[in-house]
Amino acid sequence: MNNTQNRNLGPNNPPPRLAPQILSEVNGVTTLDNDQQYTTPPVWWFPHTADASRVALRTEKGPKIWTRTSRGSARDDLQAIAAKIVATARKMSGDDRINIIAPIEKAPLDERSPAPYHYLLVDGDEAAMSFLTATSLCATPNVQFFAEPFDIPLPSYIATLEGFACQDSPDSNATIATAILRQLMAHQHLVDYLVQHAKLHHGQSAADLAAEVLNSVTVYSLRMAHNKMTFYMVWNLYVNPPDMSLDLWMGWCAMVRNLTFEIHRFGHGRIRTGDAQFKCTECKLNDHPTGLCSITAIPRWFGVSFATVAADDKTFSDLNNGYHPPPSSPAPSSSKGRGRGTYHRDDNTQSHLCVYKTMLKDLMPHTH
């Protein structure tokens, strides 16, 4: 009987595996019964990824997910990084069959270069892949990586606006969003583009689809800093994308970026120029700078030096909380130099060296 059971076990009939069990969850750190520890933010903290990660690797059979490291800092040993990712993924999910495919772009991993730094996790079962995708961000002391669905959703970030003369407040953001919504509806070619290219759901009319997309306009404000004394405001524009291909959606976003928005109370708002308006070196998104990334504010975040500082005083804040300037720097040094020359004090005090020299002079015999 036992021999029959052993013969039935093979590559096509693997034995049921036991998923790792959670022992504790303390301060955002999850500990499994196999001693693996990792941190992860809530699912909604993982935003839409950049459009460059769309690659035609659909020939791989079975469930597959994209993965990429948190920081693309200069790491020359790509083989070691891939080994760390696959080892951590196996330990977290309990599936030892997970394999990894080499990076989709053979460019040097430089965090100042555009994303992606992508690998493809394959050969795992549906439960293991679903667990990693739901976790979104896997941070361990050895490696930090994202787990993204293979069919990556369209980005909701459109552009960053600047030039409005208004203060940072929820009311001003709502006013800007309402004005942008009206002006987008006034451009008939934008509405016609959505009606022509977006896929309609069952029972949905073209007019309802266009209205649903445009009514989702949302504006978030960012308080940026030229230096510790000078600040300025920018506003990120988000729209929920419809069901269309990435190329068509990027075409609609490009038409929006060519517009100038005018508000009676706040003046003209212009789209910031450039392909990447910001370059976050942590999550690789372009809708916020690195200092305002929410990921670095996760308690017990592994591998980021200012994570504990960000969790305590919010020096590096997320998009919703605004910008908090860092603590003031030490007072500048005196411009009077530090050499051995004479130094005249305003408070009529003398240094220890001057007092010592005076004492020696008084003790020396006087010569006439």
Residue with more model confidence, 304 or 93 = 93
The predicted pLDDT at position 239 comes to 92
Phi, psi of 307 (to 5 degrees): -65, -45
CA 189, 190, 192 angle in degrees (round to 5)?
Answer: 60
The rounded mean pLDDT for the chain is 70
Query: What's the pTM value of the predicted model, to 2 decimals?
Result: 0.59
Q: Are 21 and 91 in contact (CB under 8 A)?
A: no
Q: Are 117 and 103 in contact (CB under 8 A)?
A: yes
220 - beta bridge partners? 236
Structure tokens at 368: 């006439």
Structure tokens at 347: 């408070």
Q: What's the chain's length in residues?
A: 368
Tens digit of each residue's pLDDT (9 = 90 or more) over 236-269: 889 999 988 877 888 898 888 888 887 777 777 7
Tell me the angle at which helices 206-214 and 170-186 cross, rounded to the nearest 10 degrees: 150
> What single-letter amino acid sits at 237?
L
State the Cα–Cα distance between residues 41 and 152, nearest whole angstrom. 19
Confidence of residue 116 (pLDDT cuts 50, 70, 90): very low
Distances (CA, A) of 25 to 31, 39, 210, 227: 6, 9, 44, 39
Q: Calculate the CA dihedral of residues 326, 330, 331, 335 and round it to 10 degrees.
A: -120
> Does residue 150 register a pLDDT over 50?
yes
Tens digit of each residue's pLDDT (9 = 90 or more) over 43-73: 433 344 444 444 546 566 788 888 877 665 4
221 - beta bridge partners? 235
DSSP 13: B
> Does residue 209 register a pLDDT over 80?
yes
Confidence of residue 288 (pLDDT cuts 50, 70, 90): confident
**What's the half-sphere exposure (Cβ side, CA atoms, 13 Å) at 296?**
25
The predicted pLDDT at position 277 comes to 67
Lowest mean pLDDT across 207-216, 222-231, 305-314, 335-344: 305-314
